[in-house]
Structure formats: C-alpha cells, structure tokens
Structure 1
Amino acid sequence: MKLNKIKSVSIASEVFDQLRLKIISGELKNGERLVEMELAKYLGVSRTPVREAIQRLEQEGLVEILPRKHCLVKGIDFDAINEIILIRTLLEPTAARVAASKITDEQLLTLKGYLEQSEMFFQLGKVEELMMVHDLFHAEIIKVSGLTRLVNILENLHDYIVHFRYSFLSRPHLVERSIKEHYQIYEALCSRDLDKVEEVFIHHLSGISDYAKVVIEDNIPLNQGNNRTGGLK
C-alpha cells in the first residue's frame, strides 16, 4: 500500500475555519463586507490563503463574492435552515428509535441529569450553560444509537445546530417548550417504547421551524440594522 505523507493543516484552512465559525455564530452578520486585503492584514497572512478560504466559504453558501470588489456575508438563510431541518427530521428520530432499544439505566440517569441542569440554568438565566447541556442531551441519544455514519453526518452539522440553539435558547418561551419536550423524550426512552420515542422526537423536531425564525431575526442584514426589532416581514 502506498500512502502520502501527512501535511500540516494549511494556512488557508485555518483562515477558512475561523471565518466559517464567525459567520455561523453570527459574529459576522449577514450583509457585512469582507475585504481580502483587510483580512490578510488582520490575520497576519498573505492574500492568497484568504482568497482560497473565501472561495471555500462561497462553495458552502456562506458568502457571495463580488468580482474585483469584496465579498458579502450571506450567513444562515432560510434555504440553509430548511435543509438542515430536513436532514435532522429524517435522521434524529431514527437514531432515537434505535437508541431506545439499546439505552441502559446508567445512560438514562445521564439524560436525567442533563434535564435537571437545563432547568437550573434556565432559572439562573445562564444561556451558555443551558446551550451546552441541551446539546449534550441530543448528542447522548444519538451516540447511544451506535449508528456511526449517521452520527458523523449530524456532527458535520454541529456548528450550524449550535447557533440555532443559541438563538432560540435566548427566548424564554422557547426554552420552556424545549425542556418540556425533552422530558417527554426522556420518559419515552425510559419506557423503551420504540414507536413512542420516534413519535415524540418527530414532534420535537417539527417545532424547529419556529426556532428558525429567531435565527433569521438574529441575522438580519446590516443595512437593516436599525430595524432589528420585531418579527419577520
């Protein structure tokens, strides 16, 4: 077998990873300008890796390149959200159903602990911590399924999903709803009722469209910056 030597991560990849995370997290807002020369100077690199990184971001649909000018952040739009919702709705209930046939009492205790922490962090208004345990709850169920390829697909969407959660976990009424539905999922898992687990998980994910709206609200283009209150038009 002939293998190629492993090379270190390229500068372009590091630039790409930084910019991608800042766009997905909302730190770089929709409509914000990215200029190669400015980015290169700020990051302390040449323009070439910045150009390569921006081209990769365009392929992922996160920026729009304007020839001989600059590029605009596109960030998360309804198309991206709807695609991710579709993938999650198809895959996560299946993972939960399989998990229900394998889950141990110890793993159920872990999930219960996450639920209790969720309530505590919600009462304390600690969004970062709440997001962490919310994420761990979903991740634990998916992991228990043992469906390696499915787990990998969902992990590849993790950066996007985390940002969704940050947006809606900032809204108390959506947090209360989510915690309640997590308890329903937990109780169904405790009963080891595969059909019920799948049913409540599908119901839980069916509400993601409401969460999608608040993600868009948090990413209104900068030219609408003075009108970032209220709902969608």
Structure 2
Amino acid sequence: MDSDQMAEENAIQTKSIRDVVYERLKDAIISEQYKPGHHLKERELAKLYGISTTPLKEALRRLEQEGLVTTSARRGTFVSSDIMNSVEEINWARSALEGVAARLAALKISDDEISQLGAVVDQMKQFTESKDAEKLLILNADFHKLIRTCAKNNYIFQQIEAIHSFDRSFRRKALSHEEELERGFQEHVQIYRQICARNADGAEHAMISHIRRTIVFIKGNAQPAE
C-alpha cells in the first residue's frame, strides 16, 4: 500500500471514529445522561472511548455548532444549559422536512407500501393498548422511516436521517407520559389515513401538526435544570 492509499485509509478511519463519538455524545446529552452544565472533560472522554483527543475535539466542535455544548478557552467544554431550546429548534425544522416527506409519500406511495404502513399501524395499536412504550418507540421510528422511504426523495431522506436522533429523544420523553400513548397513536392513524387517501395537503398538515404538538407537549412537561 503506497503513502497516498494509507493516508486515505487513515482519513476514512478517523472520520468514522469522529462520527461514532459524535453520535454517542449527542445521544448521551439529549437523553440527559450528561445533564445541562456537565463538564465534558476531554481526557476522561478520550479514555472512556479509547481514542485520541483529535477525533473527540472534532466531535465536540460539531456539538457546539448544534448548540448542545459550549466551550470556554480556560474552563473547557460543558453541556449547554439551554439544550431544550436547541433540540426544540431542530425538531421544528424536522417537522417541515417530515411534512414534505408525508406530502410526497401521499403522491408516490404504492399499494404494497400502503399495506406495509398499515401493518405498522396495526402493531402500534396493539402496543398502545398494552401500554408498551419501548415497543412503540421502535414502531414510531419504523412508521416515520417508511414514510420517508415512500417519499422517494433521497435528499429529504438524508436530511431527516441526519437529525433523527433528536426525534428519538423527544419521542422517548413523550412516551414516558401515559396519556401521550393514545394521543400519539391517533395522530399516526390520521397521518396514515391521509396518505392512504393520497391527500397530499392533508398528509403534510397531519404530520407537521403531530410533530409540533409533541414539541409543545414536551416543553410544557420539561423538568427545570437543577
């Protein structure tokens, strides 16, 4: 292997490590494993993940750009005290993208895909009745991903996938409230019905309303930072 090939392979490996660490830290922050104000010490994190500080610094820079951490030259890096607003802003943007995906799905979905989406809704009904929040969390992701797939627009798909972890955190918080199980299910049914009817306007409106109502619900039930 020549020097150029080695350099390219090392770059790919470094990028992979950076992305993995970025995703893990982001999930830990959004899930409140690391609470607002928590000091993210680079040496400790590098040891925890078994990596050098270089990919870690790159991951922290990405998190800072998203408003999830703040960095001070003298004090270090801390989880943002205003993290809920950062996550909320990203989810508002996601609602618009998911709305477009639902609109396109209503226009492009095949009969087979309608059957697949219906099967997911049937499972959601079962686990809503049994109040199984963990299973609903998985099915929620399946439902939204299938709609993105049915939209048949790679750009929209990739944009939503890039911020998908923010939705997972929000949905987990929402499903911790029992009253949200039935409410969320009924909203998914409405989205499904609009797509089945190939009502593009109705599907987009139902999707946006569902996501934005969840944002407001979570914000209203958020615990103040200690």
**1:61 aligns to 2:64 (yes or no):** no
Q: 5+ residue gaps in structure 2? A: none
Report the counterpart of residue 201 of structure 1 in structure 2. Answer: 207
Whether 2:119 is the aligned partner of 1:116: answer no
Partner of 1:21: 27
Structure 1 range deviating more: 77-86 or 113-122: 77-86
The answer to whether structure 1 residue 42 and structure 2 residue 61 are counterparts is no
Deviating above 6 A after TM superposition, structure 1's stretches of 4 or more consecutive aligned residues are: none
Question: In structure 1, how many angstroms separate the alpha carbons of the residues matched to 2:205 and 2:20?
Answer: 41
1:27-76 deviation digits (Å, cap 9, x = unpaired)? 22222222223223333444444444333332332212233333221277
Q: Does 1:104 align with 2:110?
A: yes
Question: Paired residue for 1:5?
Answer: 8
TM-aligned CA distance change 1:35 to 1:195, over 3 Å: closer
Q: TM-score, with normalisation over the residues of structure 1?
A: 0.80
Separation in structure 2 between the aligned mates of residue 145 and residue 58 of structure 1, nearest angstrom: 32
CA displacement, residues 62-116 of structure 1 (integer Å, 9 cap, x when unaligned): 2122333332212773432342233233222222122112212221121121112
TM-score of the superposed pair, with normalisation by structure 2? 0.82
Contact 1:99 1:144 in 2 (8 A): yes
Following the alignment from structure 1 to structure 2, what is the Cα–Cα distance between the partners of residues 88 and 51? 27
1:143 aligns with 2:149: yes
For 1:162 and 1:77, locate their aligned partners in 2 and report how far apart those are by CA, in whole Å: 15
> By percentage of residues, which structure has more helix?
2
Q: Per-residue deviation at 1:161?
A: 0.9
| Structure 1, unaligned runs of 5 or more | 225-233
Work out whether residues 103 and 204 of structure 2, in 8 Å CA contact, stay in contact via their aligned partners in 1.
Answer: yes
String of CA shifts for 1:196-223, please: whole Å, max 9, x gaps: 3233233323413324316743xx43xx
| CA contact 1:33–1:70 (8 Å) conserved in 2 | yes
The 1:43/1:75 distance shift into structure 2, 3 A limit, reads farther
Question: Distance in 2 between the 1:119 and 1:76 partners?
Answer: 35
CA contact under 8 A between 1:164 and 1:211: conserved in structure 2?
no
Partner-residue secondary structure (3-state), 1:27: coil
**Letter of the structure 2 residue corresponding to residue 119 of structure 1:** K
Q: Cα gap change, 1:42/1:214 in structure 2, threshold over 3 Å: closer, same or farther?
A: farther
Note the aligned Cα RMSD (angstroms).
2.7
3-state SS of 2:108 partner: coil
1:155 aligns with 2:161: yes
The residue aligned with 2:181 is 175
- The count of corresponding residues between Structure 1 and Structure 2 is 219
In structure 1, C-alpha distance between the alignment counterparts of 2:163 and 2:197, rounded to whole Å: 30
Q: Aligned residue for 1:229? A: none
Choose 85-94 or 151-160, whichever is displaced more.
Answer: 85-94
CA distance in 1 between counterparts of 2:174 and 2:193 reads 23
**Structure 1 CA distance, aligned partners of 2:221 and 2:56?**
27
Give the SS at the match of 2:8.
Answer: coil
1:159 is displaced (CA, Å) by 0.9
Deviations for 1:4-37, whole angstroms, at most 9, x for unmatched residues? 8343322544433332232123222222222223
Identity %: 33
The CA distance in 2 between the partners of 1:215 and 1:54, in whole Å, is 28
CA pair 215-143 structure 1, distance change in 2 beyond 3 A: farther
Alpha-carbon separation, structure 2, partners of 1:45 and 1:88: 32
Looking at structure 2, the residues matched to 124 and 36 of structure 1 have their Cα atoms a distance apart, in angstroms, of 43
